[in-house]
Amino acid sequence: MSASSVIFYVISGFILATALLAVTTKKIFRSAIWLLFSLIGVAGLYFWMQMEFIAAVQIIVYVGGIVVLIIFSIFLTQQSGNEMQKPSGIRTIFSILAVCIGFTLTYLLIRPYIFTPSSNTPMEVSVKNIGSQMLSTTEHGYVLPFEVVSILLLAAMIGCIVIAMKIKPEEK
């Protein structure tokens, strides 16, 4: 086993362990921190796959943005020191069962499938390539989604503001 595969397993283990902790920890703040580590682990996985750009995006958006937002909303809506109430026993059992069955099914689906790694000459995943393809107006260009994303973001922002500021005046 080479160093590279060791690193892969370490990263995967890290991702799964922290993700598991994130969904089972009782304190909500800790849960957010575990989620953060899990996301960082995913970024590490991207680094390992030499997708540096995606890794950086992952860190910027998830860690720098979403997790911070989640933490803020935790402060805003929770007694962050309290433990969250435990799910009922039956519910836990059924969830575990469902999840296990689902996992096995998927595993059985994946296992027989033989992926043939492509022999095409790989394209370098540099920011330059990403950029030029993103902005190109040809058939494989992504310029339309690129512009649509801005509308999506605009919609999201307006939505957020409308929703979040709705009750403000009455509160005061």
Partner 1 sequence: MGSSSLIVLLIAGIAFSAGGIAVARIFVKGTKNPQKGQPYECGIPSDGTPWKQFNVGYYLFALVFLIFDVELIFLYPWAVVVKDLGMVALVEIIVFLFILFMGFLYAHKKGALKWV
Partner 2 sequence: MFSLEGITKSIDRWLNSTFHPTLALLLEFLIVGLCAITLFAVLGLVLVLMERKVSAYMQIRRGPNRVGPGGSLQTVADTIKLTMKEGLTPDGADKFLFNLAPFVVLTVAMLVLAPIAFAKGFQLWDINIGVLYISAVSSVSIIGILMAGWASNNKYSLLGAMRSGAQIVSYELSAGLSIISMVVLTGSLQISDIIASQQNGWWIFKGHIPAIIAFVIFIIAVTAETNRAPFDLAEAESELTAGFHTEYSGMKFALFFLAEYVNIFIVCAIGATLFFGGWMPLHIGNWTGFNHIMDYIPSSIWFLGKTFFLIFLIMWFRWTFPRLRIDQLLNLEWKYLFPISMFNLLLITVMAIMGWHF
Partner 3 sequence: MSEIPLSHILLVSTALFFIGMYGLFTRRNMITMLMSVELILNSVNINFIAFNKYLYPDKLDGVFFTVFIITIAAAEAAVAIAIIINLYRSHQSIDVEDAGEMKF
Locate tokens 């937002």: which residue? 69
- Helix, strand or coil, per DSSP, at residue 75: helix
Q: How far is the CB of 130 from partner 2 (least distance, A)?
A: 10
11, 22, 40, 42: residue in contact with partner 2 (rule CB under 8 A): 40
Residues 132 and 125: beta-carbon distance below 8 Å? no
CB-based burial, 65-81: b 16+ in 10 Å, e otherwise: eebeebbeeeeeeeeee
Reported as type and span, the H/E element at residue 80 is: none
8, 25, 33, 80: residue in contact with partner 1 (rule CB under 8 A): 80
Quick one: 41 or 99, whose CB is closer to partner 2?
A: 41
Confirm or reject binding of residue 145 to partner 3 (CB under 8 A).
Answer: yes
Positions in the binding site for partner 2 (CB under 8 A)? 27, 29-30, 33, 36, 40, 52-53, 55-57, 59-60, 63-65, 67-68, 71-72, 75, 80-81, 126-128
